[in-house]
Structure 1
Amino acid sequence: MNMRLLVTFVFLGICMFTFDSYALNNNVPHDPALKKITISDPGQKLVLQLDYSVGCKITQLKVKGKNVLSESGVYTGFRTRGGSFTSCSGQDGIKVEESGNKILIKNIIYGDHSISVNESWSFDLNGDKIIWNINRKYSNLAKLEEMAFPQWNFADLAVWKGGILDNGGMVWCKYLREVNDTYGVHTGGVTFWNPDTGNALRIKAKSDGRQLAAKYSQSDKKEFVCTHFVTDEELEPRYNLNRFVHQRSDVFVPFNVQKGDVNMTLEMEYVDYAVAYSRGNLPGIDAEAVRELMNTTGRYGVVDNTIVGANGWTTNWKCLHEPFFAQIGMALNDGNYVKNMSATLDSERDYAITADGRVLSRWHNADEDQMPGTFNYKTGYYEARWGYTIDSQTGHVINTAEQFDLCGDIEWLKSHKAGCEKALDWLIRRDSNGNGIFEMMNNSIKEERASDWLDIVWASFENAFVNAQMYEALNLWAGCERVLGDKAKADYYTAVAQKLKDNFNKSIHDGGFWSPEKKQYVYWRDKDGSVHGDNLVTPVNFAVIAFGLCDDKRRIAQVLEQIEKRTVAENLFHWPLCFDSFKREEVSAGNWPFPTYENGDIFPTWGYLGVRAYVGYDKHIALKYIRNILAQYKKDGLSSQRYSRKTQEGQGSDILAGICTSVTALYRDIYGIRPKWNRMGLEPNLSEILNGTEFNYTLRDTDYRIRLSVDDYEMQTDRFSVKSRDAFGASFREGGLVVYPHNEEKTVLKVFGESSSPVGVTLKQCSGNDISWEMNTADNYRFIIEGLNPALKYKLAIQGKTTPVEVGEDGKASFTYPCKGTVRVRLYGK
């Protein structure tokens, strides 16, 4: 594909064509008289106008025919204490060279006697991408206050809704409210998008082994500005650990540059936003709302590299006592987020776990929220002043286990073995009375201290919410220990979880948390034995059911029927934190009178627990609240901390990215997206209204096409297709298809073909010692079935013919069969 370098010469008073219309119809590579160059991709979806008549800058950037830049354009530059210098300054000697499909602009010189630069810019095409390379030569060693490498000045904050960052996060233009409000991050790649036009501009940035950063701000001209940095060392925040600062453009500290060359490559590409970020065909669901909610609120919790949280970047906060960050990554389906989440958990392992195993509860930019003496001014981790929030122990472990299923990296998991064991063992040791229920660090409401996420409710001693999360953490981590081959540890944590379950479900009169009188699980018990929180606290009761701590169908119905009846009676769009008031002495003054804040307001953050609890009881109710959340997003963007119980309007200056979790539950618990470390899994719970759901899902660089209807599920890649009416998992490795009925590893079917043609399998059933499937593709196949019972005698039935099959002591059987059409296979033992 030849590069289009389009330039026009305007004859004043003669030609009535504008520069743009003339340029697009004249294939003139360069006109030195005007000193203007126009560069476009082959489809002219991205068109740059470059002017080097007075300095050098990009004066227009047309995206699908519309210029998105302000008059300031795009330029390079730097600032020292002595002044600001840019490529726009008047200068002689700029030279332009043309060589084949490449334009090279040389001798862009600016600066002063203390430090100057000599830049060369080159532009080339790679398919539909425009490649801009900037080579900068510094004349001396110097300390810079600012850098533009380059600076992009967009017309205003309405050009783009925001930018999706290549660390999984996003910049949200509407939160750059004031002049010089600035968000700085340690990554350079970004995709700016406008959902109304469907246009997006992707900029990939890379340098030669140096550090990249970018900042996003509103200028004094009301422009939306993106500024790139290339430095030898990682830039440090200027104001405490702030990534976002109000009314200050200098978010980073001054930095040194060395004498010599620095390179920056910017790959620009037009992106059809609706196609690139499509959520697929989602009958019964507002797919556009899903896309926009996840690309805004869902990504907003990424503060920076290694800081993935849920409060987000405008307040510079993240809570380690939230167990759903990896789950958000599952629903976002963005490899950049997954990578950053792994790095975040590495950071927590290295800096947030104390020697004895305590997981510090929060990260913040400053010490204003710290428990005295706990804030680490280098890392930002600390204990919150409200009390020891013990669910940071469980949150870290749950996120690590679920992250492993996304990244599939066993070596990464090994690196977290000691840390997660320390975190669990720290809490296990907090069982002073040996009843299997783990205790908080506060003993009574009289201490006026918190012990979990509801940080101004004085839950103490034996906390049901924390213990429910502990049950989930123990079971998830036991599964990780089995993968790592540590059976003893796996069995130990499983046994601890079972003891917790047995005692947790006892009546409150016998030391458990079940209230037979109120038919609900209470919140906590003080050390003196007094019971608190029998006011139908939703995250407590949802967690008990969602995590499988309660599997008593009668109890589940009693709890969920109460909650649904009362939610409908108040016509609430989502579940409140509690239905009745805490007692005055159980909460801080800010929670009074009821309903106020954590004493009765609506916090959709815990929506995923509600969906997961309801989906096994009544999936139609679960789906209703997902759709309610999406409808609310269309009303207000769901960028609030909470919603008033009285008005159901957004409240709070903080934004909780966890508000998206009802939609993450759509993917996990309705569509059944259940990635495992060694396969892709499907465990759907569909209602008829969702029949015909289709979407793409990428797991560890494999693209899956998912098709879902009630009792009819299909997963397809370029290597295989698997269909089933029940849950299953599948992967392609070592040259063959591996199928996991029920998405479990009890019985495993492996299919190897002689050719490289895709393999098609319909799984018919797998129960007990009976598995059957249908081959839908032709080839000479070798079949291996694992997980069989060696003590049984198995028979193989193919196309009505039955023969005995030998099963080894390892529980494996194998055979070959030439499939020339649809072939039904059954293996069963007696």
Structure 2
Amino acid sequence: MFMKFSLCLSACLFYFQLVCDAIDFKPKGIDHNPAMKTITLSTPDSKLAIMIDYARGCVIKKLDLNGKNKLAHSGAYTGFRTQQETFSSANPQHKVRVTENADGITVSNIHFGNTDLGVDEKWDFRLEDNSIVWEITRTYDQDTQIEELSLPKWNFSNLSTWKGGIFDNGGMVWCKYLKQENDTYGVHTGGVTFWNEHSPDALRIGCNVVAGQKLAAKYSHGENGTFAVTQSVSEKPLQQRYHLSRFVAQKADVFAPVEVKKGTVSITLALKYVDYLKEYSRGELPGIDAEAVRELMNTTGRYGVVDNNIVGANGWLTNWKCLHEPFFAQIGMALNDSNYVKNMSATLDQERDQAMLPNGRVLSRWHNVSGDEIPGTYNTETGYYEAKWGYTVDSQTGYVINTGEQFALNGDIGWLRGHQTSCEKALDWLIKRDSNQNGIFEMMNNGLGEQTASDWLDIVWASFENAFVNAQLYEALIRWSACERTLGNPQKADYYAGVGKKLKEAFNKPVEEGGFWLPAKKQYVYWRDRDGSVHGDNLVTPVNFAAIAFGICDDPERIAFILDQIEERSEAEKLFHWPLCFDSFKREEVSDGNWPFPKYENGDIFPTWGYLGVRAYAKYDKDLALKYIRNILKQYKKDGLSSQRYSRATQLGLGDDILAGICTSITALYRDIYGLRPEWNRMGLEPNMVASLNGAKFPYILRGTTYQVELRVDDYQLSSEGFSVRGNESFGAMKTKNTLRFYPHNREEVMMDIEELAGQRIDLVVDLWKEDVISWRITSPGEYKITLKGLPRGAAYELWMDDQVQYVQSSEEGLLSLNRICKSTTRLVLKKGV
């Protein structure tokens, strides 16, 4: 009887086990080996796997990306450091527990520390799509101060494991610049994507914390040549240990000691394989080295992001940001990274709040330590100050230009309104500086004898009436005038436009009449001292380029004189890019560091101002503009463009300081050749295409909408989900719900709204848009209501729809509406005054 019962029970248990095995309660992709004390998690796409070893601690020993382990032997673990000791999950005080569950697997009872501070951690792992999610929950047993915390610390094999990491604040770490052991860069963000330029295999680590807790991360040259990445979460933002330094040489402890509170903190890490070549693809760019564009923008272009709220160009190695540079928002336009855009908006907020004096003066620089400032101007808490070389007044114009261009990217009217008063103050501060009432605005220095600077060329003694600053002021005035109009202030818009008009007239007068045009040399001079003496007739390129690029010079003959001689002289020397000046300044016009010519700002090549040259040439000679864009890309392939400047004599890189502005010739490729013009209320295209670039095709993301851009000479297409627009001239477009709004020539004076009443797709081709005739086709079937806005009031038109004609008239508000059912492609032609 008992034997029969035992046999029956054994059979039941056997079949129960079979059923359990068939059901398999363990999540797929998670393999727990209790005997070996390892846990392996693999994503469904087999691109990413990690192996946790809890035999003698708790460490991620392997991180396989497409089958290749990226970690050093020490792996990844959590921990903290006091002044006396270091504690980590690699050496816990108790045996850890492993619990399998339906969603994943949990490792708990990870305890380390001492009587001064004990830490208990729980690690939860799960698979979500093709990501491995690692949630770390840490409990502190008391309040205390520690030197450093790791949540977690990743030890990658070596510095060449990755070329670098792209941060979720738009910046990056460039591994090759962590040259010496313990060189460390610390930032106040956690998410990062590590990549190598020739491989698709990239690793993304996403970071999330609960509301109120703060992220930080540091990137170090670790022991034995490893690349150490330490992430952390705290209740308050980590402070810098050494002044305001984000990068420190040969010191791993970049962050100050941190106060921890009794209780719990947590961080959630999402590990994911990313196809770098696909995710960061620049699309199809015939005639352009798209790989070089991608790498230049992801390295040099991002390098200027020092930290959250500090987006600049000098970058994190030297802990510097110059506010007297007007191209940071433009870099964001070309990067096309929403994280950079968000950080740039926050940067301008901080500069408004911390770098602007009550009278409207914008301090010119940020630095981690004092020593570069006019005595008494450095703020040890914020890092903003006036440069010791002189009051660089282009910080006024740089702030306004960047704000206007940033608004085009973020599209946030509330944000712009928050900068209205500060932009007006910045402009008005400079507008007030016209003591002789001649329409040209003056610097804070008067002449050569003071040996001080007034703009970006900070060891050239430009003073009093400075053409470079005034050309930038013209751009700032015109851009801000448009912003005032958008904010509903037509009177202020007209005022700033009027100031710009007067400035333009004065600027273009011959030097004998108080302007900057020098007929004898057919160029604009650089500056005029208060005593009336004129300086800088040595063909200073940023001065002359700025005059053309910003539109203060629109005389075709003058443009030809300037650009032809610049190209003739560049070609004669076989220069790959434009120098700051072609002939020497006079000895007394520059500091000792600029002598003998060509040297430094007296004749060397500074590609930072390349976008002005490309913009100047783009409407005059597109092929020449393209020549210098290609030259920059070739130079990047040679040396990475990680230099401050290039020698005029050897054309080799010079200077310890890397300038992110070197990428601006490529930002000009997007703005002035491909013609990308993001606007606050639309996406615009104003291309200057050449035949060798035909077939350019790439995505562009603006405020969450992905547009497909396709370009050929006189044939431009912009499409997105629900619409496409094609035309042979510049245009802008935006679709909201059922309505596509078309902006001819990408201007706002006239608009056409096309509403598809059933909410179907809208495909539009505009063949002609002139004042007296408009011709367009709707190629998608549907029932449409078409409204034209901004037409002359009460104007008579002949309207052709296919072969049918009717006579219509615009309203007193300049509106004209019509309805049409389109079963196939329908052509409409509107002729005025027939």
Q: Is the contact made by 1:769 and 1:788 (CA closer than 8 Å) also made in structure 2?
A: no
Task: Please list every run of 5 or more consecutive structure 2 residues that lacks an aligned counterpart in the other structure.
Answer: 1-27
Q: Is the contact made by 1:161 and 1:174 (CA closer than 8 Å) also made in structure 2?
A: yes
Q: Structure 1 CA distance, aligned partners of 2:519 and 2:782?
A: 61
Select which of 128, 131, 152 maps to 1:129. Answer: 131
Query: Match for 2:98: what amino acid?
Result: V
| Aligned CA-pair RMSD | 0.9
What does residue 163 of structure 2 align with?
Answer: 161
What does residue 119 of structure 1 align with?
Answer: 121
- Offset of 1:90 from its aligned partner? 4.6
Select which of 484, 496, 500 maps to 2:499. Answer: 496
What does residue 150 of structure 2 align with?
Answer: 148
Query: Match for 1:502: what amino acid?
Result: E
What does residue 16 of structure 1 align with?
Answer: none
- Offset of 1:634 from its aligned partner? 0.1
1:63 and 2:74 matched: no
Q: Is the contact made by 1:444 and 1:460 (CA closer than 8 Å) also made in structure 2?
A: yes
Q: Is the contact made by 1:54 and 1:91 (CA closer than 8 Å) also made in structure 2?
A: no
User: Secondary structure at the residue paired with 1:674?
Assistant: strand
1:367-516 equivalences under 5 Å are 367-516=370-519
What does residue 23 of structure 1 align with?
Answer: none
Q: Is the contact made by 2:541 and 2:580 (CA closer than 8 Å) also made in structure 1?
A: yes
1:669 and 2:646 matched: no
Q: Is the contact made by 2:795 and 2:809 (CA closer than 8 Å) also made in structure 1?
A: no
Q: Structure 2 CA distance, aligned partners of 1:411 and 1:31?
A: 56
Deviations 1:435-491 (A, max 9, x none): 100000001011100000000000000000000000000000000000001001000
Q: Structure 2 CA distance, aligned partners of 1:435 and 1:525?
A: 13
Query: Match for 1:771: what amino acid?
Result: I
1:187-198 equivalences under 5 Å are 187-198=189-200
Query: Match for 2:493: what amino acid?
Result: A
Q: Structure 2 CA distance, aligned partners of 1:110 and 1:512?
A: 73
What does residue 211 of structure 1 align with?
Answer: 214
- Offset of 1:221 from its aligned partner? 1.8
Select which of 751, 755, 758 maps to 1:755. Answer: 758
1:829 and 2:832 matched: yes
Q: Is the contact made by 1:57 and 1:74 (CA closer than 8 Å) also made in structure 2?
A: yes
Select which of 720, 732, 735 maps to 1:717. Answer: 720
Q: Structure 2 CA distance, aligned partners of 1:312 and 1:767?
A: 47
- Offset of 1:747 from its aligned partner? 1.3
Select which of 791, 795, 798 maps to 1:792. Answer: 795
Q: Is the contact made by 2:199 and 2:277 (CA closer than 8 Å) also made in structure 1?
A: no
Q: Report the TM-score when normalising by structure 2.
A: 0.96
1:274 and 2:277 matched: yes
What does residue 99 of structure 2 align with?
Answer: 97
- Offset of 1:805 from its aligned partner? 2.2
What does residue 73 of structure 1 align with?
Answer: 75
1:171 and 2:173 matched: yes
User: Secondary structure at the residue paired with 2:224?
Assistant: coil
- Offset of 1:771 from its aligned partner? 2.0
Q: Is the contact made by 1:369 and 1:384 (CA closer than 8 Å) also made in structure 2?
A: yes
- Offset of 1:92 from its aligned partner? 3.2
- Offset of 1:770 from its aligned partner? 2.6
Q: Structure 1 CA distance, aligned partners of 2:625 and 2:699?
A: 23
Q: Is the contact made by 2:80 and 2:88 (CA closer than 8 Å) also made in structure 1?
A: yes
User: Secondary structure at the residue paired with 1:582?
Assistant: coil
- Offset of 1:734 from its aligned partner? 4.4
- Offset of 1:411 from its aligned partner? 0.3
1:773 and 2:776 matched: yes
1:324 and 2:349 matched: no
- Offset of 1:551 from its aligned partner? 0.7
What does residue 534 of structure 2 align with?
Answer: 531
1:277-316 equivalences under 5 Å are 277-316=280-319
Query: Match for 1:728: what amino acid?
Result: F
Q: Is the contact made by 1:56 and 1:88 (CA closer than 8 Å) also made in structure 2?
A: yes
Aligned residues: 805
User: Secondary structure at the residue paired with 1:30?
Assistant: strand
What does residue 50 of structure 2 align with?
Answer: 48
User: Secondary structure at the residue paired with 1:110?
Assistant: strand
Query: Match for 2:136: what amino acid?
Result: I
Deviations 1:566-611 (A, max 9, x none): 0000000000000000000000000000000000000000000000
Q: Is the contact made by 1:360 and 1:392 (CA closer than 8 Å) also made in structure 2?
A: yes
- Offset of 1:28 from its aligned partner? 7.5
Query: Match for 2:800: what amino acid?
Result: A
Q: Structure 1 CA distance, aligned partners of 2:144 and 2:605?
A: 53
Q: Is the contact made by 2:794 and 2:809 (CA closer than 8 Å) also made in structure 1?
A: no
- Offset of 1:220 from its aligned partner? 2.2
Q: Structure 1 CA distance, aligned partners of 2:146 and 2:774?
A: 69
Query: Match for 1:484: what amino acid?
Result: L
Q: Is the contact made by 1:596 and 1:644 (CA closer than 8 Å) also made in structure 2?
A: yes
Alpha-carbon spacing, 1:348–1:27, altered in 2? closer, same or farther (3 Å): closer
Query: Match for 1:105: what amino acid?
Result: V
Query: Match for 2:317: what amino acid?
Result: T
Deviations 1:154-189 (A, max 9, x none): 000000000000000000001100111000000000
- Offset of 1:804 from its aligned partner? 2.1
Query: Match for 1:168: what amino acid?
Result: G
Deviations 1:677-733 (A, max 9, x none): 000000000110000000000000000000000011000101100000100000011
Q: Is the contact made by 2:326 and 2:402 (CA closer than 8 Å) also made in structure 1?
A: yes
Deviations 1:774-828 (A, max 9, x none): 0010000011110101131123210021112232221111111000111001223
Q: Is the contact made by 1:769 and 1:789 (CA closer than 8 Å) also made in structure 2?
A: no
What does residue 601 of structure 1 align with?
Answer: 604
- Greater CA drift, 37-46 or 721-730: 37-46
Alpha-carbon spacing, 1:743–1:28, altered in 2? closer, same or farther (3 Å): closer
Q: Is the contact made by 2:749 and 2:790 (CA closer than 8 Å) also made in structure 1?
A: yes
1:657 and 2:660 matched: yes
- Greater CA drift, 767-776 or 149-158: 767-776
Select which of 356, 360, 363 maps to 2:359. Answer: 356
- Offset of 1:198 from its aligned partner? 2.1
What does residue 811 of structure 1 align with?
Answer: 814
Alpha-carbon spacing, 1:27–1:383, altered in 2? closer, same or farther (3 Å): closer
What does residue 33 of structure 1 align with?
Answer: 35
- Greater CA drift, 692-701 or 252-261: 252-261
- Offset of 1:763 from its aligned partner? 0.9
What does residue 545 of structure 1 align with?
Answer: 548
User: Secondary structure at the residue paired with 2:709?
Assistant: strand
What does residue 617 of structure 1 align with?
Answer: 620
Q: Structure 2 CA distance, aligned partners of 1:255 and 1:296?
A: 31
User: Secondary structure at the residue paired with 1:178?
Assistant: coil
Q: Report the TM-score when normalising by structure 1.
A: 0.96
Query: Match for 1:748: what amino acid?
Result: M
- Greater CA drift, 764-773 or 339-348: 764-773
Q: Structure 1 CA distance, aligned partners of 2:94 and 2:246?
A: 39
Q: Is the contact made by 2:30 and 2:41 (CA closer than 8 Å) also made in structure 1?
A: no
User: Secondary structure at the residue paired with 1:761?
Assistant: strand
What does residue 735 of structure 2 align with?
Answer: 732
Q: Structure 1 CA distance, aligned partners of 2:408 and 2:831?
A: 31
What does residue 13 of structure 1 align with?
Answer: none
Query: Match for 2:140: what amino acid?
Result: Y
Query: Match for 2:731: what amino acid?
Result: F
Q: Is the contact made by 2:303 and 2:660 (CA closer than 8 Å) also made in structure 1?
A: yes
Q: Is the contact made by 2:29 and 2:41 (CA closer than 8 Å) also made in structure 1?
A: no
